[in-house]
Amino acid sequence: MASPLLCLAAAAALAAALLASTPEAWRPAATPPPLPVLPIPSAPQLKWQRREVIMFFHFGMNTFTDSEWGTGAEDPSLFRPAALDAAQWVGAARAAGASLAILVAKHHDGFCLWPSAYTDHSVRASPWRAGRGDVVREFVRAARAGGVDAGLYLSPWDRHDARYGKEVAYNEYYEAQLHELLTGYGSVSEIWFDGAKGKNATNMTYHFQEWFQTVKQLQRSINIFSDDGPDVRWVGDEKGFAGTTCWSTVNRSMITIGEAGIEKYLNEGDPRGRDWVPPECDVSIRPGWFWHKNETAKPLSQLLEIYYNSVGRNCVLLLNAPPNSTGLVEDADVARLREFGSAVATIFGTNLAAGSAARGSSERGGGFAARNVLDGRDDTYWAPAAEDGRRNGYWIELRRPPGSAGRPFNVVRIQEHVALGQRVERHAVYVDGAPVANGTTVGHKRLHRLPCAVAGGTVRIWIAARRGPPLLSAVGLHHDPFVEADSS
Ligand SMILES: *[C@@H]1O[C@H](CO)[C@@H](O)[C@H](O)[C@H]1NC(C)=O
Ligand SMILES: *[C@@H]1O[C@H](CO)[C@@H](O)[C@H](O)[C@H]1NC(C)=O
Ligand SMILES: *[C@@H]1O[C@H](CO)[C@@H](O)[C@H](O)[C@H]1NC(C)=O
Ligand SMILES: *[C@@H]1O[C@H](CO)[C@@H](O)[C@H](O)[C@H]1NC(C)=O
Ligand SMILES: *[C@@H]1O[C@H](CO)[C@@H](O)[C@H](O)[C@H]1NC(C)=O
Ligand SMILES: *[C@@H]1O[C@H](CO)[C@@H](O)[C@H](O)[C@H]1NC(C)=O
């Protein structure tokens, strides 16, 4: 056995040798990051926000009955997709640039796309795959194989189940189904609690607090969506547009799930909100959420408009593409999603500010230089000096290199380092001294589409921030060729 004394001596010698050979040991100590401004996002919320575009798949009994809200009286034998291929759906999601896809596992009609042990009203009673199929299983497998994370939607409102309206019995049924979905299919990244309910529906109390805690017990890194969060909130409309002012913060106590009249609060958030609950913009590429033979996908220009007004206003865009009654996303819809994904990649693939000299109204020093806004990383940012007292006068300036000053741009992108809280309250953009755009909040991402392309050598962004100095992780100047094509 080695003597402990000898071991200690050897360790000390090794440490001394390491110190002597490591020049870092004599560098000045690093400047710590600035203090966070509460509330701040959890790690899963931050990961979710950076996804920017995610997909929704509405598929189920309604696909076969040409409806949006089924009655619950549908015969399971109607559910018979001839060539369901979840890998094709996942391919469509990837083409749109989505890293997460959410499947409607049960809609308001109560028909379950997985063989739930707690009801007869499911794929098990259908002729599809001779009653041995499981759409949820096929979907999560395809998602995993395609490198896309999976999410699930389980409608609280159930028009089929006889327990609906009996508070304890129905909540037990719902909890049991949550267990099935969150323990049987591997990791689930988001769960969707829809507040929708018919005006004539039986009055009953959903045990949301129990459901939320069950979800977190079963899936630690999941994000729970509802009007009220707790992790992700509804944006208040189904157009895919957030407010021009959009805070990730709200007071959850102000929100009752499914209650009308809170749309504006959800749309804009609350600058004084105590809870970090960022908004998600759900919208379908077609008029309906479910597939209807008579409908087609929105044009690219409209999808880009939605992108600018959702992702470009501090939201995640949840884009729905409905598989048809064959069990496939229509080729024309897949093509539109691909067009959309590649348009976004084209517009934002080149930063026309690259190579600029960056300067801030002041600098904190250390690793927080103004040039960080151009390095393409989310985890580095510009921070002004802590003692910069000009609370209404922060600015950052980009001097474009000679030559590139002539390359026109018509989109300005500004991003806050929201990991330390959302701070920007107002901002304005100047090109060679002339104002070109302005607005209120920035958040994770703010996009300004300029009415026409501008060229210029110097771009200055002026910022007013609430509660502490602004922290910017990115500034981009981009050229969107699609708007111009539109207006010609
Ligand atoms: C709701 O109930 C009213 C009164 O019974 C009825 O007239 C109406 O058609 C119902 N609406 C729906 C959507 O079922
Ligand atoms: C539903 O029940 C709640 C709680 O019992 C009650 O406050 C509410 O008025 C009821 N709503 C309707 C439409 O009956
Ligand atoms: C949200 O809560 C904060 C802190 O309690 C409060 O200052 C603010 O006024 C609340 N917002 C609203 C809209 O009531
Ligand atoms: C397509 O048909 C459905 C069901 O028949 C109907 O509800 C919907 O309004 C129609 N859509 C359009 C765009 O006409
Ligand atoms: C569903 O979409 C696929 C792919 O475009 C197509 O081959 C099939 O005919 C469609 N089914 C129906 C019922 O329209
Ligand atoms: C902000 O932009 C609007 C148009 O979007 C313009 O009317 C206004 O003058 C601008 N304000 C400033 C301070 O630049």
Residue 5: per-residue pLDDT: 46
Which residue among 265, 266, 270, 467 has the greatest number of ligand 3 atoms within 8 angstroms of its CB, and so is best to mutate? 270
Looking at all shown ligands, the one closest to residue 329's CA atom is 5
Residue 388: per-residue pLDDT: 67
Residue 466: per-residue pLDDT: 78
Which residue among 64, 284, 293, 295 has the greatest number of ligand 4 atoms within 8 angstroms of its CB, and so is best to mutate? 295
* Residues 307, 317 contacting (CB under 8 angstroms): yes
Ligand 4 centroid–CA 298 distance in Å is 15
> If you average pLDDT over residues 186-206, what whole number do you get?
94
* Residues 128, 79 contacting (CB under 8 angstroms): yes
| Backbone φ and ψ of 362, nearest 5° | -160, 170
Same fold, 43-349 and 357-487: no
Q: Which residues face 104 on adjacent strands?
A: 153
Asked whether residue 14 carries a pLDDT value surpassing 60, the answer given is no
Locate 305 and state its tokens: 């408009």
Q: Which atom of ligand 5 is nearest to the CA of 325?
A: 13
In angstroms, rounded to a whole number, what is the distance separating the alpha carbons of residues 413 and 179? 42
Domain ranges of the chain: 43-349, 357-487
Asked whether residue 306 carries a pLDDT value surpassing 50, the answer given is yes
Q: How confident is the model at residue 1 (pLDDT cuts 50, 70, 90)?
A: very low
Q: Which atom of ligand 5 is nearest to the CA of 327?
A: 1
Q: How confident is the model at residue 4 (pLDDT cuts 50, 70, 90)?
A: very low
Residue 406: per-residue pLDDT: 74
Looking at all shown ligands, the one closest to residue 440's CA atom is 6
In angstroms, rounded to a whole number, what is the distance separating the alpha carbons of residues 164 and 110? 10
> Residue 463 belongs to what H/E stretch?
strand 458-465
Q: How confident is the model at residue 468 (pLDDT cuts 50, 70, 90)?
A: confident
Looking at all shown ligands, the one closest to residue 71's CA atom is 1
In angstroms, rounded to a whole number, what is the distance separating the alpha carbons of residues 192 and 233? 10
Q: Which atom of ligand 6 is nearest to the CA of 428?
A: 14
Of 169, 32, 62, 61, give the one whose Cα is nearest residue 121: 61
Ligand 1 centroid–CA 165 distance in Å is 18
In angstroms, rounded to a whole number, what is the distance separating the alpha carbons of residues 471 and 384? 8
Ligand 4 pocket residue status of 484, Cβ below 6 Å: no
Q: How confident is the model at residue 364 (pLDDT cuts 50, 70, 90)?
A: very high
* Residues 57, 104 contacting (CB under 8 angstroms): yes
In angstroms, rounded to a whole number, what is the distance separating the alpha carbons of residues 344 and 348? 6
Q: Which residues face 464 on adjacent strands?
A: 426
Q: What's the mean pLDDT when you consider all of the chain?
A: 93
Give Cβ neighbours of residue 58 (< 8 Å, ≥ 6 apart).
104, 107, 284, 289, 290, 291, 320, 322
Ligand 5 pocket residue status of 88, Cβ below 6 Å: no
Q: How confident is the model at residue 27 (pLDDT cuts 50, 70, 90)?
A: confident
The structure tokens 């921030």 sit at 465
Residue 240: per-residue pLDDT: 92
Asked whether residue 488 carries a pLDDT value surpassing 50, the answer given is no
> If you average pLDDT over residues 70-83, what whole number do you get?
98
For the chain, percent of residues with pLDDT exceeding 70: 92
Q: Which residues face 151 on adjacent strands?
A: 102, 190
Which homologous superfamily is 357-487 in?
A: Galactose-binding domain-like (2.60.120.260)
Which residue among 324, 331, 333 has the greatest number of ligand 5 atoms within 8 angstroms of its CB, and so is best to mutate? 324
Looking at all shown ligands, the one closest to residue 274's CA atom is 3
* Residues 294, 304 contacting (CB under 8 angstroms): no
3-state secondary structure of 17: helix
Q: How confident is the model at residue 13 (pLDDT cuts 50, 70, 90)?
A: low
Asked whether residue 7 carries a pLDDT value surpassing 80, the answer given is no
State the fold for domain 43-349. TIM Barrel (3.20.20)
> If you average pLDDT over residues 454-461, what whole number do you get?
95
Q: Which residue's CA lies nearest to atom 3 of ligand 5?
A: 330
Asked whether residue 111 carries a pLDDT value surpassing 90, the answer given is yes
- The per-residue pLDDT for range 396-431, each reduced to its tens digit, is 999 998 876 679 999 999 999 999 999 999 999 999
